[in-house]
Amino acid sequence: MSIEIKVPVLPESVTDATLVAWHKKAGDRVSRDENLVDLETDKVVLEVPAPADGVLQEIKVEDGATVTAGDVLAVLAEGEGAADAGQDEQDSEETEEAAAVEKPQADQGRPAKAGKTSPAVRRLLEEHDLEAAMVTGSGKDGRITKADVMNFLKGDERGEVTPGDHAPTVDVEEAVVGLEREEQRVPMTRLRARIAERMVDAQHTAAMLTTFNEVDLTEVMALRSRYKDSFEKKHGVRLGFMSFFAKAAVEGLKKFPVVNASVEDNDIVYHNYYDIGIAVSSQRGLMVPVLRDVDQMSFARFEEELSAMAKKAQDGTIGMDDLTGGTFTITNGGIFGSMMSTPILNPPQSAILGMHNIQQRPMVIDGEIRVRPMMYLAVTYDHRIIDGREAVQFLVTIKEQLEDPGRLLLQV
């Protein structure tokens, strides 16, 4: 029986998706729930699993195409087709192994020929545009294994000459003369294009202004150093700096509700909940997963939720629901070494907090110069609804909470 594999229902407000890459080719055997293809939307990558065991009979949409919900991506032959394909591959490998046994052992260690590779190895060679003669086989009679191909690729990535390769002798002067300036043009990913669109919209729509302050993190660092081991032992998660900043931000948002508000047309929408977006970097670009009801979280719960969200962003399994609905955002350029920046708003939010690098700097305290771990803080805000006084006092509130972390426990 043939089954049509279709584009699933896309997240709300997403009209189409881009087919990023097939993980199988026509004729390949697949297992139920195995990921067949990745679809990229504005924010997330959706995986399309196989609905049943079978053979991928036909691929109807190629990489890079734009698709919408319900479009047919491929046709799967269910049932016996899968068994036959699997048996054919097994028979092929058994035949090749039998043939390899009949060959003399003297061939072992020589570059293998294409006929002495299994279907799985041939697929791997094809995927990386390699010839079998380029790889030295470690199996019987020089037979290439998947491990041989992977080891060859690792050596190639490091620029090393792998056994079986023969590096040609090149005249240095000739090589230099032959160098040419090149350019590479690649289309933006949907995520990068969406980020660009939102950043430009924010600058064109909001009246953005940034105010700065600095915070002495001596007490936070001492508290963290004193309890980090027992905290991790009890809760199974590390005690980071972000939980302190998120909790301090919530106290500031409670005092100045307009900073937690958003703009919709000519209305200001005030939120009595605190859903904080935390900007994280992933291989696909910047993402801002949202942690809900941060005011109700313990430090341990916050760190657990943040760690889980960051892992989902890195793995590409983050969902649209994880990225929408925040009321305020925190971004930490300090992890990349940034000393100061002016973060851009995440519409429709009205403010964003920027953290930066912690530096030991001389500070005058009680008339004496002392070295302190200092961080510059920045708050970019929408001046249409937030006055400078409110933005400055909001940032001062965060500073006060962090310089005296006991305030976070007493909420004063």
What's the CATH number where 58 sits?
2.40.50.100
pLDDT per residue as tens digits for the range 84-120: 444 444 444 444 444 444 444 434 444 444 445 665 6
Asked if the model's pLDDT at residue 191 lies above 80, the reply is no
Does the active-site annotation cover 383?
A: yes
Does the active-site annotation cover 404?
A: no
158 & 223 share domain: no
Give the pLDDT of residue 131. Answer: 78
Of the candidates 216, 214, 221, the one whose C-alpha atom is nearest the C-alpha of residue 240 is 221
Cβ-in-10-Å burial (0-12, 13-18, 19+) of 288 comes to buried
Lowest mean pLDDT among 164-168, 217-221, 283-287, 375-379: 164-168
Q: Check 91, 201, 229, 387 and give the catalytic one.
A: 387
Q: Is residue 349 part of a domain?
A: yes
256 & 342 share domain: yes
Give the pLDDT of residue 258. Answer: 97
Give the phi and the psi of residue 183 in degrees, each rounded to 5: -125, 150
The domain spanning residue 289 has which CATH number?
3.30.559.10
Q: Is residue 174 part of a domain?
A: no
Q: What is the DSSP letter of 316?
A: T
**Average pLDDT for residues 1-19, to the nearest whole number?**
81
Is residue 347 within 8 Å of residue 385, measured between CB atoms? no
Asked if the model's pLDDT at residue 220 lies above 90, the reply is yes
- Residue 359's domain spans which residues? 190-410
Residue written as tokens 């920046």?
341
251 & 334 share domain: yes
Give the pLDDT of residue 13. Answer: 61
pLDDT per residue as tens digits for the range 388-402: 999 999 999 999 999
Q: What's the distance, CA 206 to chain centroid? A: 28
Question: Into how many domains does the chain fold?
Answer: 3
Query: What type of residue is 118?
Result: S
Give the pLDDT of residue 8. Answer: 86
Asked if the model's pLDDT at residue 218 lies above 70, the reply is yes
**Average pLDDT for residues 365-384, to the nearest whole number?**
95
Q: Check 107, 235, 383, 404 and give the catalytic one.
A: 383
151 & 13 share domain: no
